[in-house]
Amino acid sequence: MGNCSGAEVKTESPSHIGFASGSNSKHGSKKGTVLSGSSRRVSASSVPLTPRSEGEILSSSTSKSFTFSELRTATRNFRPDSVLGEGGFGAVFKGWIDEHSFAAAKPGTGLVIAVKKLNPESFQGHREWLTEVSYLSQLSHPNLVKLIGYCLEDEQRLLVYEFMPRGSLENHLFRSEELVLSSLSWSLRMKIALGAARGLAFLHSDKAKVIFRDFKTSNVLLDSTYNAKLSDFGLAKDGPSGSKSHVSTRVMGTYGYAAPEYLSTGHLTAKSDVYSFGVVLVELLTGQRAIDKSRPSEEHNLVEWAKPHLASNRRVIRIMDSRLQGRYSVAGAQKTAGLALQCLSMQAKRRPSMDQVVIALEQLQDAADMERTPKTEPRSSGRGGSGRAHNMPRRKISVDVGNAKVARPRLAASPLNA
Ligand SMILES: Nc1ncnc2c1ncn2[C@@H]1O[C@H](COP(=O)(O)OP(=O)(O)OP(=O)(O)O)[C@@H](O)[C@H]1O
Ligand SMILES: [Mg+2]
């Protein structure tokens, strides 16, 4: 398990990864690796300056190196009924290991783990796998998911994480309406927002200086008491060094979450993450997806549609998630909308820092009118509250949410200017 504390500084830059030795480029990549001919924006500064070889990264990693056979046993041969979910990297399986020796354990005993197994046919690949091992082995914080270990054996690439019993925020916010018995309460939404904000603030701090680059609801995982932890560091980048104001990179990420200036220039800053955080705040307020092509065209993009509502204390009430049934702090929702609006500022400099976001959210945690029921039910906007989130136009994947198998459309990371 990664053992550096939040106070420790990583000593080498995980973005300085050499891909020559042992890189398995044939897997290609959906995110993080340049697909030939698919982008014109590959800048010199995205080339590693002081390459670290794969061997150096893995040997300096504090995570355990598992054999494939150990993980096969721990997951009972990657049994289909132990699949926790599936992303661009491949499927994620539940497994069990002994908490001391890390040897495979009987199901239901020892330490529960989540094993992400790279699908050799997936678009994502070795580069993201290595980036993730590199960052998560060096960074440790209560709001970052823990990497327990990894496996690199022949064609196999796996990652072993602490198990997050409540899955992803995406599953909770956008799961199929018929199966929702009780949706996330307002106070849980605020708790999750604060936890995720703390994770990003840590990454941006001088201790870490990392830009996450793929902040979205599917990369926010929840423990049994809804503490939020960021996962998926395959696209993470070291922040600018010295007097540089930004990092120039190929534009990667997920549509609907990427900051406009990053999309148009490839200039990446911590404020790009702040923008993505603003998008997730709007998703938490409205219960609607960042991009939903099943909506009328002017409503495809949640932020574009919601912005005028967020700016008005009166109108913001109309776009609140109808599944909250009016049980939220009106003042808290209005302030959250104001905060989201600042995060979504078109000018990156006008966005708050994640430290400022954390302070604002801390103040909102114990709003006096938290979860009171307004006298009148909120009026539904044309967009239809959470109804938007449950039209599922795209490829459906079965995922585990608590005990319920549900279907959801994918919103995956990819090159954004291909
Ligand atoms: N540590 C974990 N504990 C429990 N469930 C997990 C864990 N990691 C991932 N999952 C589950 O597996 C699903 C797939 O995760 P994964 O990170 O592979 O893809 P994604 O984030 O949904 O998409 P993308 O590939 O675009 O990042 C998640 O939605 C989550 O429900
Ligand atoms: Mg993920």
Q: How confident is the model at residue 19 (pLDDT cuts 50, 70, 90)?
A: very low
The atom of ligand 1 lying closest to the CA of 412 is 26
Instruction: Identify the top-confidence range among 3-7, 111-115, 409-413.
Output: 111-115
By the 10 Å C-beta count (0-12 exposed, 13-18 middle, 19+ buried), 336 is classed as buried
What pTM, to 2 d.p., does this model score? 0.81
Closest ligand to the CA of 145: 1
Check the CA dihedral 197-401-137-90 and report its sign. Answer: negative
Q: Could you count the other beta carbons within 10 Å of the beta carbon of residue 229?
A: 22
Q: Alpha helix locations (H) across 25-120?
A: 54-60, 68-74
Assigned token pair, 23: 């890189």
Q: Percentage of residues in the chain with pLDDT exceeding 70?
A: 72
Lowest-confidence range among 5-14, 65-74, 198-207? Answer: 5-14
What pLDDT does residue 177 have? 57
Closest ligand to the CA of 146: 1
Confirm if 122 and 92 have CB atoms less than 8 A apart.
no
Catalytic residue among 214, 238, 273, 292: 214
CATH superfamily of 34-162: Phosphorylase Kinase; domain 1 (3.30.200.20)
Ligand 2 (ion): residues with CB under 5 Å are 87, 218-219, 232
The reply to whether ligand 1 has any atom less than 6 angstroms from the CB of 281 is no
DSSP letters of 306-369? HHHHHT-HHHHGGGS-GGGTT-S-HHHHHHHHHHHHHHT-SSGGGSPPHHHHHHHHHHHHT-TT
Choosing from 78, 231, 233 the residue with most ligand 1 atoms within 8 A of its CB, the one to mutate for a pocket test is 231
26-66 pLDDT per residue, tens: 333 333 322 222 222 222 223 233 446 777 777 777 778 99
Residue range 138-148: average pLDDT?
96
174-197 pLDDT per residue, tens: 875 544 555 799 999 999 999 999
**Active-site residue 206, yes or no?**
no
> H or E segment at 277?
helix 270-286
CATH 1.10.510.10 residue window(s) in the chain: 169-417
CATH 3.30.200.20 residue window(s) in the chain: 34-162
- What's the Cα-to-Cα distance from 45 to each of 151, 240, 241, 248, 267, rounded to whole Å? 30, 10, 11, 6, 11
For atom 26 of ligand 1, the residue with the nearest CA is: 412
Secondary structure in 3-state letters for 247-272: EECCCEECCCCCCHHHHHHCEECHHH
Residue type at 296 in one-letter notation:
P
Q: Which residues pair with 415 in a beta bridge?
A: 252
CATH architecture for the domain at 169-417: Orthogonal Bundle (1.10)
For atom 31 of ligand 1, the residue with the nearest CA is: 167
Cα of 368 to ligand 1 centre, how many Å?
35
